[in-house]
Every structure is written in structure tokens, then in C-alpha cells.
Amino acid sequence: MQSAEYVLFGTSRWHAVASWTWDAQDETCGICRMAFDGCCPDCKLPGDDCPLIWGSCNHAFHLHCILKWVNSQTSQAHCPMCRREWQFKE
């Protein structure tokens, strides 16, 4: 007697494939213009070393990009997209 799965599909093996994307308003970083599913220009491979960081204004950037931006500002840093005072979202 054959299993119902074998009868219906002709095989008893299958391989699942999954993908993920960042849940951000935009598809690219507003600073480096690289895609969020990739990485910033300073990194070689996407992943945990280059996560997205959101501001309290809900704009997202690569971690390395926003850190460079904040450190380059002579006075209080502002969001590069909306010019609101930059604060990391909690």
C-alpha cells in the first residue's frame, strides 16, 4: 500500500525554499542608495554585520551609513531624509 502523499504527488520528498526582506518604507538606504537586501558599501556580505537601523521618524538606514552620518555632523544630527532631529528608535 502506498502513502497518500506518494499517490498524489508522485514523490515523498520535498524541499522548502524561503526568503526574507526588511520591513522598511523604502527599498534603498537614503544615504548610500544601496538596496536594503544587500549591504552598505563598507561591507562585503549582507547579514548581521550590516543591519537596518530605524530612527524615531521611521526612516531606515544601514547601521554603518547612519553612524557615519551622525558622526560627521558638527552640531545635533538630523535625519538625512526628513531633517528631523535624529534619534534611534527604541
What is the rounded distance in angstroms from the CA atom of residue 38 to the CA atom of residue 42? 11
Question: Mind listing the domains of the chain with CATH numbers?
Answer: 1-90 (3.30.40.10)
Q: Are strands 52-54 and 60-62 parallel, antiparallel or unpaired?
A: antiparallel
Q: Given a cut of 80, is residue 70 above it in pLDDT?
A: yes
What pLDDT, on the 0 to 100 scale, is given for residue 27?
Answer: 81
Are 52 and 62 in contact by the 8 Å Cβ rule? The answer is yes
Query: Predicted confidence band at 83 (pLDDT cuts at 50, 70, 90)?
Result: very high
CB 63 within 8 A of CB 35: no
Q: Identify the CA nearest to 79 among candidates 28, 31, 23, 25.
A: 31
Per-residue pLDDT at 79: 94
Band (73; pLDDT cuts 50, 70, 90): confident
Q: What is the pLDDT of residues 8-59, one digit of tens each?
A: 556 667 677 766 565 666 788 989 998 888 788 888 877 667 888 899 999 9
